[in-house]
Amino acid sequence: MPVDEVIPYARPLTPSARLGESAAKAQATFRAAARRKKWMNLLVIHVALVCICAGFILPLAWMISTSLKTNKEAMLFPPKMVPIPPNWKSYPNVINHERVDFPLFARNTVIVAGLAVVGTTFVSAFVAYGFAKVKFRGRGLLFAMMLSTMMIPFPVIMVSQFLLFRWLDVHTPIQFLGTFKPLWLPWWFGTAFNIFLLRQFFMSIPDELSEAARIDGCSDFGIFWRIILPLARPALACVALFTFMHHWNDFLGPLIYLQDPQQYTLALGLQQLQGTQGATTEWNILMAGSVLVVLPVIVLFFLTQRTFIQGIATTGLK
C-alpha cells in the first residue's frame, strides 16, 4: 500500500534525552580542537535561532503591545514599542463592543465546535476500527478513496455543498441553511483526517489483545468499545483537539453557512471589528479581539503540547 508510505511515521520528540546522548558522544570522540570548533558552531546556531525566533515572535508581541495602547497611541508614527502605562480598557471594550457581541459569538463557536468534537471523535474511531482491525476485500481501495477526499480543499466543494443543503432544505422537513447544522453535521459521519489519524494509532495496538477478548466471546463492537477505545485515549484527545481547533479557526464555513449576524462565530466576529467604509479601524480594539481569539488556542497548546505535536507528526498533515 504505497498510499500509506507517503506518510512519515514519527516517534515522540524527546529533546532532552537526545541532548545528553549526543553530548556524551561528542566528548568521547572528539579532540579538544574539534571541541572548540563545535563550540563556535553552537554559538552560530544559537545566534541564528535567537534572531529567527525574534522574527517569529515579533508579530505576536506587536499584537499584544497594540492591544494595550489607546487608539491615539496606536496611531502614532514612529510607533511606541512598549505602551506604558498599559491601557487595559481595550479588553472590556471589545467584550462589550456595541456591534460585535463577542460573548455571543464565543457561545456560538463553543456550540459548533462542541457538537463537532463529540460526534467526530466517536464516529471517526468507529470507522477507524473498521479500517484498522477488520480485514476484508476492498478495504485498501476504500482507504485510498478516503485519503484522496482528505486532499480536496473545502473551497472546491463549498458551492456544491451549499446547494446540497439548499436542496435538502426544500425537499426535507429539516432546515439546514441559516442554522449551525451544516457546520457540524458532516462531522458526525467521521472525517477523513481523524479516521486516518486514529487508524494509524489503532494499527499500533497489538492484535493479541483483541484476539484474547474474542476468545472470551466478545463481539467486534465490544472489542472496539472495551479494549481499543480505552487504549486509544491519547489519540482520541488528539482528534478532539484538532477538531476543536479547526472549528475555532474556521472562517469560510461559517461565512457561507451562517447568515444571521446573531449566529456568527468568533472568526467571523473578529473580521467585523475591521472598520468599514466611513468608519475607522480601531487597531487597539481589533488587536485586543485578536488576542482573545488567539489566547485559548495557545493555552490549549501549552497544556496539550505532546499530544498535539505527536498528532501532527503522525499524520504529517494539516
134-193 binders of other proteins (CB under 8 A): 134-139, 142, 144-146, 148-149, 151-164, 166-167, 169-170, 175, 177-178, 186, 188-190, 192
Q: How far apart are CA 153 and CA 225, in angstroms?
A: 33
Q: Do residues 315 and 202 make contact, with C-beta atoms less than 8 angstroms apart?
A: no
Residue 73 binds other proteins (CB under 8 A): no
Length of the chain measured in residues = 318
Q: Which stretch binds other proteins (CB under 8 A): 82-90, 226-234, 304-312?
A: 304-312
- Is 34 a residue that touches other proteins (CB under 8 A)? no
**Interactions with other proteins, residue window 226-285 (CB under 8 A):** 245, 248-249, 251-252, 256, 259-264, 267-268, 270-281, 283
Q: Which is nearer to other proteins, 231 or 317 (CB)?
A: 317
Q: Which residues of 167-190 are buried (b: 16+ CB within 10 A; e: fewer)?
A: ebeeeeeeebeebbbbbbbbbbeb
CB atoms within 10 A of CB 251: 13
Nearer to other proteins by C-beta: 57 or 89?
Answer: 57
CB of 149 to other proteins, least distance (A): 5
> If residue 168 lies in a helix (H) or strand (E), which one and from where to where?
helix 154-171
Give the binding range for other proteins (CB under 8 A) out of 49-57, 83-91, 228-236.
49-57
Minimal distance, residue 85 CB to other proteins, in Å: 21
Tell me the site size for other proteins, rule CB under 8 A: 147
Site of grid cell 480598557: 89
- CA–CA distance, 6 with 3 (Å, rounded to integer): 6
CA distance 88 to 97: 15
The reply to whether 212 sits near other proteins by the rule CB under 8 A is: no
Cell of 30: 572528539
Rule CB under 8 A: say whether 203 interacts with other proteins: no
Q: To the nearest whole angstrom, how small is the minimum distance from the Cβ of residue 135 to other proteins?
A: 4
Asked if residue 245 lies in contact with residue 317, where contact means CB atoms within 8 angstroms, the answer is no
* Least spacing, CB of residue 230 vs other proteins, in Å: 18
Contact residue for other proteins among 91, 93, 111, 226 (CB under 8 A): 111
